[in-house]
Amino acid sequence: MKSAILVFLGGGLGSILRYYISKLLNNSAVSQIPFGTFTVNILGSLFIGFLFGLSAKHQNFNPGISLFFAVGFCGGFTTFSTFALENQAYLRTGDYYNFFLYTLLSIVAGLLAVFFGLYLSRLT
């Protein structure tokens, strides 16, 4: 039961933060790219890479911390379903340029963010 509560609390915090970041950045008239979704997904990738690196480095890493942050917070904070829906909208309207740009940037930046998070965890 404790594990479920940790995931629930972390997920709630992540979801609230995602809501506010997306609301702030997706309402920008600067670009067609949904920077709010992009930002939370890249930050979540960076954070989970850092957290995974710390847990691999420290054998006595508290599993409750991983449940709260990796499963809960990152699970609530990042959003693959919104990313997929936004890409579907690009395809539906024939905006192939932004579809490919957003997809490629999200995947490459997400992977780089995980690697950078792992690297940062080695510095601690």
The binding site consists of 75, 78
* 29 three-class SS: coil
Q: Which residues are annotated as a binding site for Na(+)?
A: 75, 78
C-alpha 1/C-alpha 11 separation (Å) is 15
The contacts of residue 51 (CB under 8 Å, 6+ apart) are: 65, 66, 69, 70, 74, 117, 121
CA dihedral 43, 84, 33, 25 (to 10 degrees): -50
